[in-house]
Amino acid sequence: MKRLILLLIVVLMGINVNAQVRAAKKKDLEAFFKTKTLVVLDENPFSYINNVMKDEMKRFWTKTPYDFITMAEFEELKKDDKYSFIVFAEIKQENLDNEYNFLNFALGSPTDDFNEMPDLGSVPLSYVGTDEDNYLYKMGAFLMFMQNYTQYRSNIAHMRLQRLLNVKDDKLHSKEIWLLEEEMEESVNTLEEIKEVYPYKVKFATREEIQKAIHDKNPNVAFLHKIGPEETVKSGRVWKFILSAEDGMVLFSNNHDISKETPDVFLMKDFKSMAK
């Protein structure tokens, strides 16, 4: 898939953020609701991603009218502030060797530099080179998050990696956390082991069950969105978000560097952090 390549010059964790990307201001967020949102499709007309985006936009996109365009049309229209754009992008961060796939969400702006287009609430999806099946089933939640973030930005934790803090929402313990068994650390890959460190509701689910919970906007369910290299590289950082199936909101977030002791999985110490 042809993707935009964006160079974001950042320092992670919000310690010293100096990103070229332009965060949307209040006037930009207000302007969004007057736009038509254009989703940039894969150039392959038979792409599975295209089918997912068309289905999930129909299910979940309610804040603005929307349509689908090609990358060539995006290049023609991106300077027009009557439009907002959803486009898959590969993001390279200066202080890391790895690239990430993002679902970028930006307002049209009279600039030749995509980084100068106001960012309305982009969502990190995965490391570049990993299987897209690891995130496509969660796309509905991402689209809900993006819309809710623009509407209630001051009260919502962003999923922007360079500003990731340890988020913990009061609603977390009231949700049943649905997890993929394959994404668990070996010491917490049974419900009995998890119960010893996290005494709240947890369930091992399938991707299909999680997608259905999102489609149903199940108010009782939350799920894990893990971003890791999935063996494409031997080092890097693992980003972990627990999202609400009802509205895509971030209920918990954490991250760790990959090592022999802390592999690319959801760790026991993550459950301990959630339990507090």
Residue spans of the domains in the chain: they are: 4-155, 166-275
The model's pLDDT over 23-63, given as tens digits with 9 standing for 90+, comes to: 888 899 999 999 999 999 988 877 899 999 999 999 999 99
Give 86: exposed, middle or buried? Use CB within 10 Å, 0-12, 13-18, 19+: buried
Give 64: exposed, middle or buried? Use CB within 10 Å, 0-12, 13-18, 19+: middle
Q: What percent of the chain has pLDDT over 90?
A: 70
In 3D space, the residue among 39, 34, 115, 31 whose CA is nearest the CA of residue 73 turns out to be: 39
The pLDDT of residue 84 is above 90: yes
Token pair 């392959």 is at which residue?
44
What pLDDT is stored for residue 234 in this prediction?
Answer: 83
d(CA 31, CA 114): 18
What's the predicted TM-score (pTM) here? 0.89
Maximal C-alpha separation, the chain: 56
